[in-house]
Amino acid sequence: MEVKIYKDKQEVAEQFSNYFAKMVNGKEIFHVALSGGSTPKLIFDVLALEYGTKIDWTKIHFYWGDERCVPPTDNQSNYKMTVDHLFSKIDTPSENIHRILGENDPLGEAMRYSNLLEINLDRIEGVPQFDLVILGMGDDGHTASIFPREIDLWNAQEHCIVATHPDSGQKRVSINGSVINTAKAVTFLVTGSGKAEKVDEIHNRKENYAQYPASLVNPKSGNLIWFMDEAAAEALI
């Protein structure tokens, strides 16, 4: 695991964009699972601004690690957030965008997406393998949409599962722990002081850190990088 700590969110965005551009450079095809929430907004803005014309977007296929079960036009939609901050600014073929259909029945969509991943991606011991999975971490230590209260979903048999947000009750479709840990590379994008406590507990293995799904991210490839700003990583500096 590698920890990269930068001054602020802007620098995290610039450095991650740099890393992403290098990763996709020269690849004939690249399958990436995006994270949602608010952290990616600035990251995607910078990626589009700095690399919008430098990356061959026709080689990149976009998926999501999780999606809220809402329509694609809903402000809660991770897909909509990505359109607003990335796809509206770059020239990516629509057939390269594989969104989770948040408007559909959650269980049926989890099954559909599981099958899509099996069809589109190489499989390692039966598990679809992404070239890159980008993750965020909630203030409660969740990642993708696997929350501490439903940590058993991490080891679900199905590649994609239906989760429930602990506060809002909102249904989510999420990839499971096996898909995450089978990826060739995994990056966390974690910024802001709200994450500092869980970053401290997880990275310094404090108290019951293993109860946090983010602590279970440990790709077999060994390629795990945490991109953080100083505010989130204050306990590690």
Q: Which residues in this chain contact ligand 6PG in the complex, by CB under 6 A?
A: 35-39, 66, 78, 136-138, 142-145
37 within 8 A of 144, measured Cβ to Cβ: no
**Nearer Cβ to ligand 6PG, position 143 or 181?**
143
Rounded to whole angstroms, the Cα distance separating 111 from 157 reads 11
| Shortest CB 191 distance to ligand 6PG, Å | 8
Round the CA-based radius of gyration of the chain to a whole number and report it. 16
Q: Which residue, 175 or 185, has its beta carbon nearer to ligand 6PG?
A: 175
Min CB(232)–ligand 6PG separation in Å: 10
Sign of dihedral through CA atoms 119, 64, 114, 137?
positive
Sheet hosting strand 66-68, strand order edge to edge: 66-68, 171-175, 160-164
Please check whether residue 143 is in contact with residue 154, taking contact to mean a CB–CB distance below 8 angstroms.
no
CB of 86 to ligand 6PG, least distance (A): 15
Tell me which residue has its CB nearest to ligand 6PG. Answer: 136
**Are the beta carbons of 183 and 74 closer than 8 angstroms?**
no
CB-nearer residue toward ligand 6PG: 127 or 134: 134
- Locus of tokens 């989510």: 172
Helices (H) and strands (E) in the chain, counts: 6, 11
Q: Minimum distance from CB of 9 to ligand 6PG (Å)?
A: 10
Tokens of residue 5, six digits: 């700590």
Residue 125 beta carbon to ligand 6PG: minimum distance, rounded to whole angstroms: 25
Q: Position 113: which residue type? A: Y
102 versus 128: smaller Cβ distance to ligand 6PG: 102
Angle, alpha carbons 172-173-174 (nearest 5°): 110
CA distance linking residue 190 with residue 137, whole number of Å: 6
Q: How far is the CB of 112 from ligand 6PG (least distance, A)?
A: 18
Residue 223 Cβ, how far from ligand 6PG at the closest point, in Å? 19
Minimum CB distance to ligand 6PG smaller for 136 or for 177: 136
Q: Which residue, 101 or 124, has its beta carbon nearer to ligand 6PG?
A: 101
**Residue placing its CB nearer to ligand 6PG in the complex, 28 or 152:** 152
For residue 212, how many C-alpha atoms fall within 13 Å in the half-sphere facing its CB? 23
Amino acid at 67: E
